[in-house]
Structure 1
Amino acid sequence: MSDPVEMGCELLENCEDDSLELSEAVDRLETITTDPHLTREILDTAEKRGIIAREDGLIRPKRSTFVSFESEVVTKEGDFTCRRCGAGLSTGHFIRFESGEHGPFGSSCIRKVTGRE
């Protein structure tokens, strides 16, 4: 199994938003873990590594890359449940990070998790 802290840091590093409310960042991290201690560890690690800056309830990604939908998002056919909204899926979208594959997501949730919507 992938390291949730590494995956969470990669998710934040590849976020396309200029800034996020803390609740929005937590919403995205909950696709990796619902453990509040692990969520805090992800945020703390990301801040220490210079991936994000935190101030006044905002998370500001200091991004270096974005998720490429052409090469880093793969689709798979099957019987899936979206990690973000819980909807049943016949096509799952997965993000390929260095730390592992993250998903499945539906077609709109993959865009929300990466900050495209």
Structure 2
Amino acid sequence: MTEREPERVELALELLAHIEADELSLAEVVDRIETVTTDPSLTRDILDTAEMRGIIERDGARVYHRRGGTFVRFESQVVQREGEFDCRRCGASISTGHFVKFESGELGPFGSSCIRKVLGRE
């Protein structure tokens, strides 16, 4: 692993732990992980670690969330900043970036609809 990979793994694990959907397709989970990394081997490591830590359970192409009530609180954990950004999920140019503050770091920027999708609220 490179120097930054453990940080990215922890950030992705926190994101997965905070997703609000009980069940997602593997493709939907990978879509979220890709906001942190697009490296296929690191994505695999993240999925394996999430399963080992009891964050998710995989059954074929379905992923079940095994959370303990850890939703992202929009009021305190999502910060909006004005500027010129590209959304980490869809790549669109945005003037208001939404950033999620986790213990392991900050993830973003996201547009207003992508932040909801990444967190499983849509």
| Shared fold (TM-score, shorter chain, > 0.5) | yes
How many pairs are equivalent? Answer: 117
The 5 A counterparts of 1:59-70 are 59-64=63-68, 65-70=70-75
1:12: how far off?
0.6
Instruction: Report the Cα distance in structure 2 between the residues aligned to 1:111 and 1:49, rounded to whole angstroms.
Output: 25
What per-residue deviation string (whole Å, max 9, x for no partner) do you get for residues 25-44 of structure 1?
Answer: 00111111000000000000
Instruction: Report the Cα distance in structure 2 between the residues aligned to 1:50 and 1:28, rounded to whole angstroms.
Output: 18
What per-residue deviation string (whole Å, max 9, x for no partner) do you get for residues 26-70 of structure 1?
Answer: 011111100000000000001000111111211111112000001
Work out which of the residue numbers 13, 17, 22 in structure 2 matches 1:13: 17
1:105 to 2:110 alignment: yes
Question: Secondary structure of the residue that 1:115 maps to in structure 2?
Answer: coil
Question: Secondary structure of the residue that 1:70 maps to in structure 2?
Answer: helix
Instruction: Report the Cα distance in structure 2 between the residues aligned to 1:36 and 1:20, rounded to whole angstroms.
Output: 19
Identity, % of aligned pairs? Answer: 64
2:41 corresponds to which residue? 37
- 4+ aligned runs moved over 4 Å, structure 1: none
TM (norm. structure 2) is 0.93
Question: Secondary structure of the residue that 2:47 maps to in structure 1?
Answer: helix
State the AA in 1 paired with 2:65. P
5+ residue gaps, structure 1, are none
Pairwise CA RMSD: 1.0
Instruction: Report the Cα distance in structure 2 between the residues aligned to 1:38 and 1:24, rounded to whole angstroms.
Output: 16
2:89 corresponds to which residue? 84
